């Protein structure tokens, strides 16, 4: 295996001076880990360091692309401005990982857990950025302005975690303990934790410390949305914009919206104990029924004219789902056809509801951005729950009428 060439020192060598620190925790399965403290020139990092970005084709990734707002501009958050016009010093290290066990030649033993020596990094191994991608990206971009920054010494904390899940876990811990990571990618982290913890006992501490009931629901919700997006029978098949992706013309909805309200559904005991595959199947039937009733709202090029697949519509229908499922159970049939029948009652006119916006037919015009009632365009959890409450009330009124007619005719 070829060696990773190091350029900082006067002579080119294959052995990098580094401190090795051994740290440990007491969580079940946590164990002891090596940390290597060293410095690398920017030109080496520009060539070797990369991020494992989450995309539709790389669902094992765990990061988003860097935010341009952090790199450009004249604000206090601009890293380029900090480098060119201010101190330009980064005293905190960049956290990297190599996905193999590293060879460390100890020269001086300082304490039982701290030593100094030479570190060898295989030339064919990537340096995976766990924390510090914005700093490195800014430094890389500025080389064209300041070529001497090729040799800018970057302080590094290096890990040698062979398990990619542990790498993702470290990213999650670093970013959630000191700052909040974007919610959309957080759901993906929860998903991986749920999947891993259920399989491997050595990650029991993750379940005990990081994976509480809310986090577990988020992880399962992310899995359910992936199942919905990948099922050819789903109205959202290949039509969901996932975290880090550009929105394409055929996309109808962002993954975060569906994940958020799927997680809320999972608070219900009925769905909490249900297999994710079953919940996904039910939601596919549910949204397929909605699509049949409101086809224009799902058509490419037309969906933006309606609020049904915007936050208001999605949240309202997702809040309605547990109630509608209960109606199906009471009717003795849980199917797309039964859901469509019950949801179709929304299109009927009733006088018994005190809000006039819901007495009228809840048809495509009701969801129209141009012609629908104001409440169909309003936002906020209180509004979403109010809409779902009136939807449930309307379905209940029409259902009772039809049952009454059936009994009378019987």
Residue 203 confidence class, pLDDT cut points 50, 70, 90: low
H or E element that contains 317:
helix 311-331
- Residue 100: Cβ within 10 Å count: 14
Q: Per the structure block, which two tokens stand in for 351?
A: 């006088």
Is the domain of 157 the same as that of 272? no
Question: Tell me: the pLDDT tens digits for 361-389?
Answer: 999 999 999 999 999 999 999 999 999 99
Domain-located, residue 196: no
| Nearest Cα residue to 206 out of 191, 221, 217, 194 | 194
H or E element that contains 395:
helix 381-409
Task: Spell out the residues 6+ positions from residue 219 whose beta carbon is closer than 8 angstroms to its own.
Answer: 187, 189, 190, 191, 192, 193, 194, 195, 211
Is the domain of 146 the same as that of 30? yes
- pTM as predicted: 0.65
pLDDT of residue 140: 80
Note down the domain range covering 323: 201-409
Is the domain of 150 the same as that of 211? no
Phi, psi for 116 (deg, rounded to 5): -120, 145
pLDDT of residue 284: 97
Average pLDDT over the chain, rounded to whole?
Answer: 84
Domain-located, residue 219: yes
Residue 276 has pLDDT above 70, yes or no: yes
pLDDT of residue 2: 45
Question: Tell me: the pLDDT tens digits for 152-184?
Answer: 899 999 999 988 888 888 887 787 765 555 545
What is the C-alpha separation between 330 and 403, in angstroms, rounded?
Answer: 12
Residue 186 has pLDDT above 80, yes or no: no
Is the domain of 101 the same as that of 32? yes
Is the domain of 231 the same as that of 291? yes
- Of residues 251 and 294, more confidently modeled: 294
Question: Tell me: the pLDDT tens digits for 39-48?
Answer: 998 888 888 8
Is the domain of 152 the same as that of 214? no
Q: Which range among 28-32, 34-38, 194-198 has the greatest average pLDDT? A: 34-38
Reported as half-sphere exposure (CB side, CA atoms, 13 A), residue 353 has a value of 23
- Of residues 70 and 292, more confidently modeled: 292
Q: Per the structure block, which two tokens stand in for 258?
A: 């569906």
Exposure letters 55-71 (e unless 16+ CB within 10 A, then b): ebeeeebbbbebeeebb
Domain-located, residue 342: yes
pLDDT of residue 84: 76
Question: Tell me: the pLDDT tens digits for 1-34?
Answer: 444 444 444 333 368 999 999 998 777 667 789 9
Is the domain of 237 the same as that of 289? yes
**Residue that is written with structure tokens 């670093």 in the block:** 174
What is the C-alpha separation between 7 and 153, in angstroms, rounded?
Answer: 10
| Nearest Cα residue to 105 out of 44, 37, 33, 19 | 19
What is the C-alpha separation between 120 and 143, in angstroms, rounded?
Answer: 27
**Domain tally for the chain?**
2
H or E element that contains 156:
strand 153-159
Residue 408 confidence class, pLDDT cut points 50, 70, 90: low
Domain-located, residue 5: no
> Which of 53-57, 85-89, 98-102, 168-172 has the weakest average pLDDT?
53-57
What is the C-alpha separation between 177 and 131, in angstroms, rounded?
Answer: 13
- Of residues 282 and 197, more confidently modeled: 282
Is the domain of 158 the same as that of 236? no
Is the domain of 145 the same as that of 241? no
| Nearest Cα residue to 192 out of 158, 156, 163 | 163
């Amino acid at each position: 295996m070829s060696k990773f060439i190091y350029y900082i020192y006067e002579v080119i060598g294959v052995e990098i001076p580094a401190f090795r620190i051994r740290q440990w925790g007491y969580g079940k399965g946590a164990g002891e880990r090596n940390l290597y403290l060293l410095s690398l020139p920017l030109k080496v990092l520009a060539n070797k360091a990369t991020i494992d970005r989450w995309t539709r084709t790389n669902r094992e990734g765990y990061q988003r692309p860097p935010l341009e707002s952090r790199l450009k501009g004249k604000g206090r958050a601009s890293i380029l401005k900090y480098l060119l016009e201010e101190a330009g010093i980064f005293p905190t290290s960049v956290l990297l990982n190599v996905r193999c066990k590293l060879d460390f030649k100890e020269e001086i033993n300082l304490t039982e857990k701290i030593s100094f020596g030479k570190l060898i990094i295989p030339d064919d191994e990537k340096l995976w950025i766990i924390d510090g991608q914005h700093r490195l990206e800014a430094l890389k971009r500025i080389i064209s302005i300041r070529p001497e920054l090729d040799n800018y010494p970057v302080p590094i904390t290096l890990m040698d975690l062979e398990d990619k899940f542990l790498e993702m876990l470290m990213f999650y811990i670093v970013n959630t303990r000191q700052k909040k990571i974007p919610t959309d990618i957080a759901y993906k982290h929860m998903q991986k934790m749920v999947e891993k913890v259920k399989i491997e006992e050595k990650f029991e501490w993750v379940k005990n410390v990081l994976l509480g009931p809310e986090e577990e629901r988020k992880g399962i919700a992310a899995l359910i949305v992936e199942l919905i997006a990948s099922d050819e029978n789903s109205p959202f098949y290949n039509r969901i914009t996932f975290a880090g992706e550009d929105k394409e013309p055929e996309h109808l909805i962002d993954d975060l919206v569906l994940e958020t309200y799927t997680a809320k559904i999972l608070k219900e005991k009925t769905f909490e104990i249900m297999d994710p595959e079953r919940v996904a199947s039910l939601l596919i039937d549910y949204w397929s029924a909605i699509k049949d009733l409101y086809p224009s709202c799902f058509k490419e090029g037309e969906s933006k004219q309606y609020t049904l697949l915007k936050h208001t519509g999605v949240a309202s229908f997702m809040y309605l789902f547990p109630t509608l499922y209960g109606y199906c159970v009471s009717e003795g049939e849980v199917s797309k056809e039964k859901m469509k029948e019950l949801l179709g009652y929304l299109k009927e006119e009733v006088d018994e509801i005190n809000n006039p916006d819901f007495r009228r037919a809840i048809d495509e015009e009701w969801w129209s951005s141009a012609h629908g009632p104001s409440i169909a365009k309003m936002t906020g959890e209180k509004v979403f729950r109010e809409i779902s409450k009136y939807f449930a009330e309307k379905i209940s009124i029409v259902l009772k009428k039809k049952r009454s007619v059936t009994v009378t005719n019987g």
